[in-house]
Structure 1
């Protein structure tokens, strides 16, 4: 696994993201509620982290995710999607 030039993301992150996007698309086509799909993906992600990282590292990943929410980064992403401004 190679890191990007800034040493942050593995080089296969884009591929993994594409696979997850397809899984989300499939779940929504199967009429799985978005909250159910998101909860299943989050549970799976936490399970994978638990098998591959120590608790302190997992907490760091979760702190980074929370910082993205608190900074408005996810809101900006939502606002750029069709119908994304439905929930301020």
Structure 2
């Protein structure tokens, strides 16, 4: 896994995102509640980060996610297409 030229994101981030989107789609099709899907994915992500990153790096990822929520960036996703 190497970083992009700006050093911000791994080059395989798009692929990982596509795989995650397909997993979400599959779970929703299986009738799993969206909150359960989201909670499981978040728990898995936190577990992976805990094994692979130090606390400061994890805090930076979480801070970035919180900034996206607070800036209204996620509202556009709601307008695009609901999950359920």
TM-score (norm 2): 0.91
Mapping 1:24-39, distance limit 5 Å: 24-39=24-39
Q: Which runs of 5+ in 2 are unaligned?
A: none
Could you list the structure 1 runs, at least 4 aligned residues long, displaced by more than 2 angstroms after superposition: none
- Structure with the larger RCO, 1 or 2 (CA within 8 Å, 6+ apart): 2
- Other structure's SS at 1:36 match: helix
Question: What is residue 41 of structure 1 aligned with on the other side?
Answer: 41
Q: Which runs of 5+ in 1 are unaligned?
A: none
Name the stretch that deviates more: 2-11 or 30-39.
2-11
Superposition RMSD in Å: 1.3
TM-score (norm 1): 0.87
